[in-house]
């Protein structure tokens, strides 16, 4: 069935179609995103969130480092696969200017997150996320969602859902090799 | 022009809503009953293809169970019976998970007290769930449920 539209209706529908087509959000099941060229990267939104010790952590504190920013939750099975990878990467690359920062999205807060971090012996810093910060990063809904951020604080790649370890390693190594 | 028409059809609110939720609950049938009896109500639940929710008894303490909760009303909840879960394997879990997929029902048995008010009323409740695919998980959500009740004299 073809619906015949007037000029105004057609223009509105086309506008909506263009908006959808222009969306830059990554989705679950998308092919692994390659590193964006430096000129196409957008700045990661800054935030101020509390870590497990109550200290304020700002993303801008990490400027000059390559950052793996992982949105996760204790109830997220695929996140639990990636966390040990990130622990290993933190250990392997931290002396070269790399850091992992976890953003826990549990609605029960530290009561749920702290025992999990202790059980997993997570060796990198974790902050408690908020819906507002998730919105600033494009409306993080599916977990895990992980952003790899370059030394200038720009988002170089986004991974939605369980990615492969080698995708992260390739991203990190490429960004660490850049001045 | 066909693309424009397609875009318009996709954005008709009524149609779009069908794609919105991972889990949907069919409006339950009206419970017609009498005082001093026990009555059963079935809640039909449909999950989108490719998704699963944890059962009401997940094996891992960190997982969020499916739950049906009824608010206090003229009826008394005797028992909530969840379907038998499936044990399914996923790439992100070393051991099979206790889950529900596809279409399933939750059955509630209500007792109707001898002094329950006659006539029409509603019982409200909520279904809480947390869904995942094989590669990602979504935040816990709650679906409100309204059960129409008609208590008639013997």
Residue pLDDT, tens place only, B16-53: 223 348 999 999 999 999 999 999 999 999 999 999 99
Q: What is the pLDDT of residues B133-145, one digit of tens each?
A: 999 999 999 999 9
- Asked if the model's pLDDT at residue B154 lies above 80, the reply is no
Q: What is the pLDDT of residue A178?
A: 84
Calculate the alpha carbon distances from A132 to A48, A114, A129 in Å.
11, 22, 8
- In chain A, residues with a C-beta closer than 8 Å to the C-beta of B92 are 77-78, 80-81, 162
Q: What is the pLDDT of residue B123?
A: 97
Q: What is the pLDDT of residue A25?
A: 55
Give me the half-sphere count of Cα atoms (radius 13 Å) on the Cβ side of residue A46: 10
Q: What is the pLDDT of residues B120-134, one digit of tens each?
A: 999 999 999 999 999
**Percent of chain B with pLDDT strictly greater than 90:** 81
The interface pTM score, or ipTM, of the predicted complex is 0.82
What is the value of pTM for the model shown? 0.83
Taking CA atoms, what residue in A is nearest to B131? A76
Domains of chain A by residue range: 29-177
Structure tokens at A81: 């696969």
Q: What is the pLDDT of residues A63-120, one digit of tens each?
A: 999 999 999 999 999 999 999 999 999 999 999 999 999 999 999 999 999 999 999 9
Q: What is the pLDDT of residue A155?
A: 97
Handedness of CA A112, A118, A123, A125 (dihedral sign): positive
Handedness of CA A126, A127, A128, A129 (dihedral sign): negative
Domains and CATH numbers, chain B: 21-152 (2.60.40.1250)
Report, as an integer, the average pLDDT of A138-149.
96
**Cβ proximity of A70 and A162 under 8 Å:** no
Tell me which residues of chain A have a C-beta less than 8 Å from any C-beta of chain B.
Answer: 1-5, 9-10, 13-14, 16-17, 20, 28-29, 73-81, 105, 107, 112, 116, 141-144, 160-162
Q: What is the pLDDT of residue A32?
A: 62
* Gyration radius of chain B's alpha carbons: 19
Q: How far is A59 from chain B (nearest CA, A)?
A: 24
Distance separating alpha carbons of residues A89 and A94, to the nearest angstrom: 8
Strands B37-47, B23-25: pairing is: antiparallel
**Cβ proximity of B105 and B127 under 8 Å:** no
**Alpha helix positions (H), chain A:** 7-22, 77-93, 110-120, 131-136, 165-177
Distance separating alpha carbons of residues B67 and B73, to the nearest angstrom: 18
CATH architecture of A29-177: 3-Layer(aba) Sandwich (3.40)
Q: Do B2 and A73 touch (CB under 8 A)?
A: no
- Asked if the model's pLDDT at residue A8 lies above 90, the reply is no
Nearest beta carbon to residue A78 from set B9, B63, B135: B135
Structure tokens at A99: 């850091």
- Asked if the model's pLDDT at residue A26 lies above 90, the reply is no
């Amino acid at each position: 069935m073809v619906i015949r539209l007037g000029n105004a209706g057609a223009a509105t529908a086309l506008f909506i179609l263009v908006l959808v087509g222009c969306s830059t959000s990554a989705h679950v099941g998308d092919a692994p995103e390659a590193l964006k060229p430096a000129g196409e990267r957008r700045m990661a939104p800054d935030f101020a969130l509390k870590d497990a010790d109550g200290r304020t952590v700002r993303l801008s504190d990490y400027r000059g480092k390559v950052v793996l920013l992982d949105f996760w939750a204790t109830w997220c099975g695929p996140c639990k696969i990636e966390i040990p990878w990130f622990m290993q990467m933190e250990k392997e690359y931290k002396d070269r200017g790399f850091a992992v920062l976890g953003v826990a999205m549990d609605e029960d807060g530290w009561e749920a997150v702290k025992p999990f971090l202790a059980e997993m012996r997570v060796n990198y810093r974790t902050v408690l996320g908020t819906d507002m910060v998730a919105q600033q990063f494009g409306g993080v809904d599916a977990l895990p969602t992980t952003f790899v951020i370059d030394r200038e604080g720009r988002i170089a790649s986004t991974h939605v859902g369980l990615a492969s370890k080698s995708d992260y390693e390739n991203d990190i190594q490429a960004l660490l090799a850049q001045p | 022009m066909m693309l424009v028409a397609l875009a318009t059809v996709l954005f008709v609110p009524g149609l779009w809503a069908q794609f919105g939720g991972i889990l949907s609950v069919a409006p339950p049938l009206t419970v017609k009953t009498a005082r001093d009896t026990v009555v059963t109500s079935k809640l039909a639940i449909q999950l989108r293809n490719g998704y699963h929710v944890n059962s009401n008894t997940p094996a891992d303490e960190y997982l969020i169970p499916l739950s049906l909760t009824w608010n206090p009303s003229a009826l008394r909840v005797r028992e909530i019976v969840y379907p038998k879960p499936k044990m399914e394997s996923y790439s992100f879990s070393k051991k099979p998970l206790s889950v529900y997929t596809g279409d399933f029902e939750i059955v509630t048995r209500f007792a109707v007290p001898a002094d329950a008010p006659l006539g029409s009323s509603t019982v409200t409740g909520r279904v809480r769930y947390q869904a995942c695919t094989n590669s990602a998980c979504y935040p816990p959500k709650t679906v409100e449920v309204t059960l129409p009740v008609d208590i008639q004299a013997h």
